[in-house]
Amino acid sequence: MMSETCYDVVVIGAGPVGCVAALAMNQIGLSTAVLEVQPEQSEIPDGRTLALSWNSYLILKRLNIWSSKEEQFPINRIQISDRGHFGQSVVSASDVQLPKLGFVVRFKDLLIRLRKQLSEQKVKTLFQASATSIEKHNDHSKITLDINGASSEIAARLVVMADGGHSLNMAGLKLTKTVDHGHDAIVGIITSDSKPSDMAYERFTDSGPIALLPRGNEYAFVWSVPSSESGDLLNQPEIRFLNAFQTAFGDRCGRFTSIREKRSYSLATRIAEQPSDGGIVIIGNASQALHPIAAQGLNLGLRDAWDLAEVCDTTKSENLANEDTVNNYRKKRRWDRLQTTLFSTGLNRLFSSKLSSILGVRGLGLLGLDLIPIAKKVIIRQLIFGPKL
């Protein structure tokens, strides 16, 4: 049946979720390979800065990927507010009995570190290798890949699709839901005349939600704006962009004084069908790409990767291709995936609405969070750790 080059696990995509899945599989002793279409790079051209939850920090630490450098940028409190309307809430680490809520990390720094760790842990990683098709057999799958125009094959008992959702059709998988939000996220680094603390801000404004993440002397920001306006905003000279940002955010973080590394990302929610027959699982953005409003996408994807490794750890390697393995993973992830997806899409809808009845409800909701500490604790802990059933 299988050739000698059959791995226990082949991960398609060396994004952050694919890397974490591969490192976790390697840590539990499974032979693992990773395919990545991009070349190996020492610089990653990405402008995103992420809010990583305390649970994501624990996952990265258990895999020896955490760098103590990142601990300079903790989030201990998050202020959530609705510009021009009543209601505001502050969530702090002590509300949920954790040392920190999370940390602020540059996407490119994290990805470089993860890919370096793949090489240090001797996980077979093929760069510039694009998976083009998957052929399923009883106890393994054969993946065809294209490396610099040359075709070759690799076999795996379990194929983990962590490709960000770019090539689902090669596994015969479909999207069950796609929402184009008509918004782009403008990201960048901004400074102000008041020094950032350990407080992150989620501010809902008429032009779209703004997240400000403290990183030492500066903030990273994510500003969700209508796609029709993002090109103009991005091209504006610094002073005009700063004015527009100040007008949208207000002055609770002082006067904004400089901005750099502006970029935009178009925003869509995409939910994929989870396969139920054996041999293939999908994780991370390939499984669900969410609106970044609640900063949940990567945090959820890392929980996918970690839970998958836990399922594989309790499965004999010759059974990895079985339907049971995939179904155990689906069962383990069902509630977290559903709850986090509903939360991100619901929050986006709630705070995009201009209906006065909705404005009142969300003001009460923010107020209620502060008045009912137990509700706050349950909601925030579930967002950090996923539901504990």
Ligand X SMILES: Cc1cc2nc3c(=O)[nH]c(=O)nc-3n(C[C@H](O)[C@H](O)[C@H](O)COP(=O)(O)OP(=O)(O)OC[C@H]3O[C@@H](n4cnc5c(N)ncnc54)[C@H](O)[C@@H]3O)c2cc1C
By CB under 6 A, name the binding residues for ligand X. Answer: 12-18, 35-38, 48, 50-51, 130-131, 162-164, 166-167, 185, 187, 222, 265, 284-285, 292, 295-299, 301
Minimum distance of ligand X from residue 27's CB (angstroms) = 18
Minimum distance of ligand X from residue 134's CB (angstroms) = 10
Minimum distance of ligand X from residue 38's CB (angstroms) = 5
Q: Judging by beta carbons within 10 Å of its beta carbon (0-12, 13-18, 19+), is residue 68 exposed, middle or buried?
A: exposed
- The nearer residue to ligand X, 265 or 385, going by C-beta atoms, is 265
The closest of 112, 106, 115, 114 to 48, measured between CA atoms, is: 106
Minimum distance of ligand X from residue 179's CB (angstroms) = 14
State the number of CA atoms in the 13 A half-sphere of 54 facing the CB: 19
Minimum distance of ligand X from residue 380's CB (angstroms) = 15
CB closest to ligand X, residue no: 15
- Give the strands of the sheet with 74-75, arranged side by side: 49-53, 102-106, 74-75
Question: What does the buried/exposed string (b/e) look like for 174-188 if buried means 16 or more CB atoms within 10 Å of the residue's CB?
Answer: eeeeeeebebbbbbb
Contact call for residues 326 and 279 (beta carbons, < 8 A): yes
Minimum distance of ligand X from residue 361's CB (angstroms) = 25
Give the relative orientation of helices 16-27 and 297-313 as an angle to the nearest 10 degrees. 20
> Rounded to an integer, what distance in angstroms lies between the CA atom of residue 261 and that of residue 182?
23
- The nearer residue to ligand X, 322 or 351, going by C-beta atoms, is 351
- The nearer residue to ligand X, 138 or 178, going by C-beta atoms, is 178
- The nearer residue to ligand X, 24 or 295, going by C-beta atoms, is 295
- The nearer residue to ligand X, 37 or 311, going by C-beta atoms, is 37
- The nearer residue to ligand X, 283 or 366, going by C-beta atoms, is 283
> Rounded to an integer, what distance in angstroms lies between the CA atom of residue 103 and that of residue 53?
7
Contact call for residues 327 and 276 (beta carbons, < 8 A): yes
